[in-house]
Amino acid sequence: MPILRIRENFSTIHHQLSSITKFEEKWRSKLIDTLGSQTEFVLSCKKLSDEVNCIYFQKKGESLHLETSYLIGLDYIQDDIPIMIEPKFSYGKNDYSIDFYKILFESLPYVKSSEIISDLYDVKFDAKPIEIEQKDDFLTPILVIQYLNILKKICSYGLQKGYYLVEQNLNSKVKGKILIKETIKHNHLKANYSDSYCRYQEFGINTKENQFLKYAFQFCLNYLNQFRQLDLFQNIENMVGMIRSSFLVVDYNEGFRKEMVIRKNPMFPEYESAIRLANMILKRNAFNITNTTTNKVRTYPYWINMSKLFELHVLKFLRTDYPNGVIYQKSFAGRIPDIILNTESYKAVIDVKYKNYSNKSLEIEDIRQVAAYSKMKSIYKELGLNKGDELDSIIIYPKVQSLNKTKDLLSQKEELRDYFNIYKLEVDIPILTKTN
Residue 382: is its pLDDT beyond 80?
yes
Least trusted range by pLDDT, from 63-67, 292-296, 405-409, 428-432: 292-296
Residue 234: is its pLDDT beyond 70?
no
Residue 436: is its pLDDT beyond 60?
no
Residue 228: is its pLDDT beyond 70?
no
Residue 2: is its pLDDT beyond 70?
yes
The DSSP output letter for 276 is H
Residue 274: is its pLDDT beyond 80?
yes
The DSSP output letter for 250 is S
pLDDT above 70 coverage of the chain, percent: 95
Alpha-carbon gap, residue 426 to 421, rounded angstroms = 17
Write the pLDDT tens digit of every residue in 82-111: 999 999 988 877 888 898 888 888 888 888
- Give the per-residue pLDDT at 427: 95
Q: What is the model's pTM?
A: 0.83
Please name which of 159, 163, 162 lies closest in space to residue 247, comparing C-alpha atoms. 159
Write the pLDDT tens digit of every residue in 314-336: 999 999 999 999 999 999 999 99
- Give the per-residue pLDDT at 290: 65
Total Cβ atoms within 10 A of residue 109: 16
Going from N- to C-terminal start, the domains of the chain cover 4-86, 130-160+206-299, 162-204, 306-434
Question: What residues pair up with 186 in beta bridges, in sequence order?
Answer: none
Least trusted range by pLDDT, from 193-207, 226-240, 253-267, 318-332: 226-240
Write the pLDDT tens digit of every residue in 162-195: 999 999 999 989 999 999 999 999 999 999 999 9
Give the residue, 78 or 341, on which the prediction is more confident. 341
Alpha-carbon gap, residue 44 to 71, rounded angstroms = 9
Question: What residues pair up with 91 in beta bridges, in sequence order?
Answer: 94
- Give the per-residue pLDDT at 306: 94
Alpha-carbon gap, residue 369 to 371, rounded angstroms = 5
Stretch 275-286: mean pLDDT, rounded? 86
- Give the per-residue pLDDT at 183: 93
Please report the DSSP string for 39-86 in residue order. SEEEE--TTT-SS--SEEEEEETTEEEEEE-SEEEEEEETTTEEEEEE
Write the pLDDT tens digit of every residue in 3-49: 999 999 999 988 888 888 888 888 888 888 888 888 888 999 888 98
pLDDT above 90 coverage of the chain, percent: 52
Element at 346 (helix H, strand E): none
Question: What residues pair up with 171 in beta bridges, in sequence order?
Answer: 195
Which one is the CATH code of 306-434: 1.10.150, 3.40.50, 3.30.70, 3.40.1350? 3.40.1350
Residue 384: is its pLDDT beyond 60?
yes
Alpha-carbon gap, residue 43 to 37, rounded angstroms = 17
What is the rounded average pLDDT for all residues in the chain?
88
Give the pairing of strands 392-399 and 347-352: parallel
- Give the per-residue pLDDT at 426: 94
Please name which of 12, 125, 8 lies closest in space to residue 71, comparing C-alpha atoms. 8
What band does 292 get if pLDDT is binned at 50, 70 and 90? low
- Give the per-residue pLDDT at 239: 84
3-state secondary structure of 119: helix
Residue type, 189: L
